[in-house]
Structure 1
Amino acid sequence: METGALRARPLCTVDIRLEDGAPLALGRSPFRNRRVSYIAGGAVDGERLRGEVLPGGGDWSELGAGPDGSALTLIDVRSIWETHDGAQIYVTYGGRLVIPAEVLPAFRDPAQVEGLPEDSYYFRIQPTFETADERYGWLNALVAVGTGRRTAKGVRYRIFGLE
């Protein structure tokens, strides 16, 4: 193995339910075009991490557009997860969501979005974990990445720790 090579080890799959309705569109200000989606809850499942996503966090995303008509989103999520054994973990992540113009109508339709091929849009995140619980202290030093997929009720992430 090459020195310095990255290896990704599965950490968990996270299903996040968003509050019903469209995101709150704050509109284009002099600074950005922001919208907010609130987290209603969710589930964390994996060999190394499992529990639930607590209600109350959200995504303060910024919208943009590519020269080809694609929708570009800067993701900015803050949430609290609680493990199956009671540890609380503050989870934040940024990322990128790029939706080609021809995919956008199906992506926005909850009845069609789950039928979209996973490679029809680009959805990547980099979560950061923070906890005071010693059992999960290893998360404080972990660099993680994830792939995202929109679901009818929210989003699903497959998250990997880099070693």
Structure 2
Amino acid sequence: MANPGPEALAARLLCDVDISLVDDAPVPLGRSPWRNRRVSYIAGGTFRGPRVSGEVLPGGGDWSELGQDGAGNAVTLIDVRSAWRADDGTLIYVTYSGRLVIPAEALPDFRDPAKVEAMDPARYYFRIQPVFEVADGPYGWLNATVAVGYGHRTAKGVRYRVFALD
């Protein structure tokens, strides 16, 4: 693997991911002295890419922290843990952190399932940093992969486009 140097950063498509959330998600845990956490549970999903495809298994979730900046924008720290199964049956543990920033003016549309699907993702900032863990085998290369992605909310969950950094 060649190191392109600090002046270049190349990426290639790893996969597109569609995740459905359980209908009653997110579950607000309330504001504690340290944070304002909520939990969204994964109902299932799919991932498709040039080198890896399969299903997102139900049972994972996002233990996000909600906040607000001085301008009234919603700021969320993303903390997801999930299990994926490749088409050949290989299990992949996927965690990712990230940031979701929704301008105050976009919040009503973002929170409305009837409007969010048609909402332009350029109206908010949604970025993730997936980390993969897999046993040796056909997808062992994922253990050494640094990935980034961008997302947008759907009526039933989230959709991501994930890239592997070269």
Q: How does 1:14-29 map to 2 (within 5 A)?
A: 14-29=17-32
C-alpha separation between the residues in 2 aligned to 1:87 and 1:102?
43
In structure 2, what is the equivalent of residue 40 of structure 1?
43
Aligned partner of 1:39: which letter? Answer: I
Percent of aligned positions that are identical:
70
- Work out whether residues 38 and 57 of structure 1, in 8 Å CA contact, stay in contact via their aligned partners in 2: yes
Are 1:160 and 2:166 matched, yes or no? no
Cα pair 1:87 1:133 within 8 Å, conserved: no
Task: State how far apart, in whole Å, the 2-side matches of 1:77 and 1:84 are.
Answer: 22
1:123 pairs with 2:130 = no
**What is the identity, as a one-letter code, of the residue corresponding to 1:138?**
W
Following TM superposition, the consecutive aligned residue runs of length 4 or more in structure 1 with deviations greater than 3 angstroms are none
Q: 2:16 aligns with which of 4, 10, 13?
A: 13
The amino acid of 1:60's aligned partner reads W
Match of 1:77 among 74, 80, 83: 80
Residues 16-25 or 144-153, more deviating = 16-25
TM-score normalised by the chain length of structure 2: 0.95
Shift of residue 3, structure 1, vs aligned partner = 3.8
Counterpart of 1:97 in structure 2 is: 100
TM-score w.r.t. length of structure 1: 0.97
Write the distance in 2 (CA, Å) between the matches of 1:149 and 1:48: 23
Residue 92 (structure 2) pairs with residue 63 (structure 1): no
Corresponding residue for residue 149 of structure 2: 146
How far apart are residue 95 of structure 1 and its match?
0.1
Partner of 1:147, secondary structure, is strand
Q: How many residues align?
A: 162
User: Aligned partner of 1:65: which letter?
Assistant: Q
Letter in 2 for 1:56: G
